[in-house]
């Protein structure tokens, strides 16, 4: 498939826009650098003076240079040992902002009848707050182990598994579609990093948002300029 610039800052491949948003039933979003402007784990690390160390691992994982996301996450979380929940709260309040157009896009999707899912390799501490803020239907992310208000440097297993990596994102999206009684073709997935590729390739419309080159290469829609709401130029409400 060859990419073409459909409008300034918007690239399209494998679809003939405009499409109708109402033809879809579920939209899945990555969180870090997609629904929000930051990489939350890097900002937590900054609080304890380890941002450069953690950000280097994050970037390598998102670029696909480190292919084992689970191991890369464990390495990064280990560096967060000793961070307090009060510091996490500070990071959320002072550093985590919604991406431009996020609210507009989600409201349009909700009005068109789509269910909304946040599926993240980040953490429930942030994902659950973003879910509540945006009124999303579902969220799945990783759970930081906390003892006496302090991070232990480990991730806690949850009922569905240990770490939400690229394969878990894909499985979550497909399982939810199955439970909803819809086809994968009726799903939209939005992300920016290598661990989003598996879910993006499993659905009807994949969207790369200010994404890494590997992600743009596989996405049917690449938003390279402007906010998330630019998707509404391709998928008309």
Tell me, yes or no, if 229 is annotated catalytic: no
**Does 49 fall in a domain?**
no
End-to-end CA distance of the chain: 26
Tell me, yes or no, if 32 is annotated catalytic: yes
**Does 151 fall in a domain?**
yes
CATH number assigned to the domain comprising residue 229: 3.40.50.1000
**Does 142 fall in a domain?**
yes
- Residue 58: its pLDDT value, please? 86
- Residue 65: its pLDDT value, please? 83
Active-site residue, from 23, 32, 46, 162: 32
Of 137, 128, 101, whose CA–CA distance to 223 is shortest? 101
**Does 126 fall in a domain?**
yes
- Residue 48: its pLDDT value, please? 87
- Residue 111: its pLDDT value, please? 98
- Residue 1: its pLDDT value, please? 52
**Does 181 fall in a domain?**
yes
- Which residues constitute the domain of residue 193? 4-38+98-236
For the chain, the domain total comes to 1
Active-site residue, from 23, 30, 68, 192: 30
Distance of alpha carbon 50 from alpha carbon 36, whole angstroms: 21
Low-confidence ranges of the chain (pLDDT < 70): 1-2
**Does 80 fall in a domain?**
no
């Amino acid at each position: 498939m060859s990419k073409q610039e459909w409008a300034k800052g918007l690239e399209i491949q494998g679809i003939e826009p405009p499409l109708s948003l109402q033809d879809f039933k579920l939209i899945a979003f990555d969180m870090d650098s997609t629904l929000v402007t930051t990489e939350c784990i890097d900002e937590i690390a900054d609080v304890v003076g380890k941002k450069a160390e953690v950000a280097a691992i994050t970037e390598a994982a998102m670029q696909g240079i480190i292919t084992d996301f689970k191991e890369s996450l464990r390495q990064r979380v280990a560096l967060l040992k000793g961070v307090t929940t009060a510091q996490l709260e500070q990071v959320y309040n002072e550093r985590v902002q919604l991406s431009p157009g996020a609210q507009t896009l989600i409201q349009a999707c909700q009005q068109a009848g789509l269910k909304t899912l946040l599926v993240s390799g980040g953490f429930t501490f942030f994902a659950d707050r973003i879910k509540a803020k945006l009124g999303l239907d579902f969220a799945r992310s990783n759970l930081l182990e906390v003892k006496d208000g302090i991070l232990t440097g480990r991730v806690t297993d949850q009922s569905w598994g240990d770490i939400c990596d690229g394969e878990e994102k894909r499985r979550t999206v497909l399982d939810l579609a199955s439970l909803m009684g819809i086809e994968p073709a009726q799903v939209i997935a939005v992300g920016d990093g290598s661990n989003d590729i598996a879910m993006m390739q499993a659905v009807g419309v994949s969207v790369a948002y200010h994404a890494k080159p590997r992600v743009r290469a596989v996405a049917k829609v690449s938003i390279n300029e402007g906010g998330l709401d630019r998707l509404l130029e391709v998928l008309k409400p």
